[in-house]
Chain A
Amino acid sequence: MLSLKTLRVLLSLGATLLALAPAVGDEIRVTLDSAGNDELRVAVASNFAGAARALVQRFEESSGYHVLLAFGSTGKHYAQIRNGAPFDVFLAADAERPARLEQEGLAVAGSRFSYARGRVVLWSPREGFVDGEGAVLAKGAFRHLALPNPKLAPYGRAAEEVLSARGLLPSLRDRIVRGENIGQTYQFVMSGNAELGFVAYSQVRAPGRSAGGSLWEVPRELYTAIDQQALLLVDSEAGRAFLGFLRSDAARRIIEAFGYGSGDAPC
């Protein structure tokens, strides 16, 4: 009896621990069985998933290299890379994490560059709900405004800056719901639980997948640029080739088509 009880305690504790530790174990979707030299493992910020797939398709066609994409939050990727995750290239959602990895000597020095610039939009699935000036924010005819957690997501930080610039942050504070990332924020809005929200342009106007509704493309001067940086973690022919491809015009066209400003180019 006693041992059964002990087991139960351990099980419940274990369940609690597991539930508490998603940041550590979640979303490692790398296939580890094919570790050939011409195979490139790339950790990609979730928001860039669509564009990354299109880029890889083009890259594989032209180079003959094989690329494995692992999507996840940049925070998790950062923690994983620090703890020895076998990635060759890191496409982050911000500039901070790649910079840190470079400082910490976990990347090829000097390989860091901006590959895309995020565009923030205020979006609602309802036609005509969001006007072209974002005046809907001041009118306040909504119950919930969704944005990504500013502490976690660059898009969230940008959204907060927009609200601050308009002086709306104090009045809207009670109506703000925060997604853990832009994907979740999009779901809040898409499901109608929040009437509108700040999301990435790439989420609502991707090629072949327009989410409809109405949007306000936030002017760039209202927020600090969302600089998404790339970094070579392990030096290799394939890795250099991929990063080189990312800077090419062909790649830039794809990136822009997916709703991003292209990286180091002036914008």
Chain B
Amino acid sequence: MLNAADLSALSITLKLALLTTLILILIGTPLAWWLARTRVRFKPVIEAVVALPLILPPTVLGFYLLIALGPRGPIGRLMEALGGRPLAFTFAGLVIGSVSYSLPFVVQPLQGAFTAVGRRPLEVAATLGASPMDRFLTIAVPLARPGFLTAAVLGFAHTVGEFGVVLMIGGNIPGKTQVLSIAIYDHVETLEYAHAHTLAGGLLLLSFLLLLAVYTLNRRFRMV
């Protein structure tokens, strides 16, 4: 049923989603923490910027990323100045695109979770001798755990389903940048509907099983 190209698209998709989720948790956590705690006046500006990918159509975002990554764009120039290779049509480029696009899906649940933790537990921890980093790791992060779960699931699912951005900056290179959603799209466009149904069904089932596993685990954790 699935040919080699499909399997490679599947593996690229999973790799991309996992890596994107990991990176988003790493950069999203401090960002969300800062947003949840700061009182600076320009906070709404940052929040709006983080939320922008929600509003921009993915292909539009992809288009701007393509220009930014290009040899005349800011990121492209930076890469060149650093002696790096251009990022468009590479897996690294896909990761950058996915990270930009899925950022709000990770930052917003985390920010919400950190806000819900509130100041009090952290103040208590401070009076018990915990340094800021200590109380972040031992109090804020454990208390925000449901937010981390939601953030990771949304980030992952959103990257798996991502299409527009990847379409624009990936170049659809089989084995390198061709992800599942584009493979499905190509099948639909070339009237290979049966093949498209198989892939789409498989993707849905896989995502469903994954989400089911995560939520079941979370429930069990919470009961402990």
Chain B residues in 8 Å Cβ range of A79: 188
B52 to chain A, nearest CB (A): 17
Cβ–Cβ contact B185 & A19, under 8 A:
no
Contact mask A183-201 → B, CB, 8 Å, 1/0?
Answer: 0100110011110000000
Residue B106 lies at the interface, judged by CB distance under 8 Å to chain A: no
> Size band of the A side of the interface?
35 or more
Chain B residues in 8 Å Cβ range of A184: 167-168
Residue A86 lies at the interface, judged by CB distance under 8 Å to chain B: no
Chain A residues in 8 Å Cβ range of B86: 143, 193
Which of A76, A180, A193 has the most C-beta atoms of chain B within 10 angstroms of its own C-beta?
A: A193
Contact mask B65-82 → A, CB, 8 Å, 1/0?
Answer: 011011111001000000
Known: A13-B208, A191-B67. A22 touches B157 (CB 8 A): no
Contact mask B168-179 → A, CB, 8 Å, 1/0?
Answer: 110111000000
B216 to chain A, nearest CB (A): 10
Cβ–Cβ contact B211 & A146, under 8 A:
no
Tell me, in angstroms, the Cα distance from A18 to B162 when the chains sit together. Answer: 9
Chain B residues in 8 Å Cβ range of A192: 70-72, 76
Tell me, in angstroms, the Cα distance from A192 to B71 when the chains sit together. Answer: 6
Partner-contacting stretch, out of A4-12, A30-38, A46-54, A160-168? A4-12
Residue A67 lies at the interface, judged by CB distance under 8 Å to chain B: no
Tell me, in angstroms, the Cα distance from A109 to B19 when the chains sit together. Answer: 53
Within 8 A of B (CB), among A78-127: 78-79
Residue B36 lies at the interface, judged by CB distance under 8 Å to chain A: no
Within 8 A of A (CB), among B143-160: 150, 153-154, 157-158, 160
A19 to chain B, nearest CB (A): 3
**Chain B residue with minimal CB distance to A9?**
B211
Known: A20-B163, A75-B190. A13 touches B70 (CB 8 A): no
Residue B204 lies at the interface, judged by CB distance under 8 Å to chain A: yes
Tell me, in angstroms, the Cα distance from A166 to B88 when the chains sit together. Answer: 27
Tell me, in angstroms, the Cα distance from A13 to B160 when the chains sit together. Answer: 11
B104 to chain A, nearest CB (A): 12
Within 8 A of B (CB), among A52-70: none
Chain A residues in 8 Å Cβ range of B204: 13, 16-17
Residue A178 lies at the interface, judged by CB distance under 8 Å to chain B: yes
Within 8 A of B (CB), among A133-170: 143-144, 146, 149, 151-152
Cβ–Cβ contact A13 & B211, under 8 A:
yes
Cβ–Cβ contact B157 & A193, under 8 A:
no
**Chain A residue with minimal CB distance to B158?**
A15
Cβ–Cβ contact B71 & A193, under 8 A:
yes
Chain A residues in 8 Å Cβ range of B172: 149, 177-180
Chain A residues in 8 Å Cβ range of B162: 19
Within 8 A of A (CB), among B29-83: 58, 63, 66-67, 69-73, 76
Tell me, in angstroms, the Cα distance from A177 to B73 when the chains sit together. Answer: 19
Residue B186 lies at the interface, judged by CB distance under 8 Å to chain A: yes
Residue B14 lies at the interface, judged by CB distance under 8 Å to chain A: no
A220 to chain B, nearest CB (A): 25
Residue B114 lies at the interface, judged by CB distance under 8 Å to chain A: no
**Chain A residue with minimal CB distance to B200?**
A20
Residue A23 lies at the interface, judged by CB distance under 8 Å to chain B: yes
Residue A203 lies at the interface, judged by CB distance under 8 Å to chain B: no
Chain B residues in 8 Å Cβ range of A178: 171-173
Residue A73 lies at the interface, judged by CB distance under 8 Å to chain B: yes
List the 7 closest pairs (A to B, CB-CB), nearest first.
A177-B171, A19-B161, A193-B88, A16-B161, A75-B189, A23-B188, A191-B70
Chain A residues near B (Cβ < 8 Å): 5, 8-9, 12-13, 15-20, 22-24, 73, 75-76, 78-79, 143-144, 146, 149, 151-152, 176-180, 184, 187-188, 191-194
Chain B residues near A (Cβ < 8 Å): 58, 63, 66-67, 69-73, 76, 86, 88-89, 150, 153-154, 157-158, 160-164, 167-169, 171-173, 181-182, 184-186, 188-191, 200, 203-204, 207-208, 211-212, 215, 219
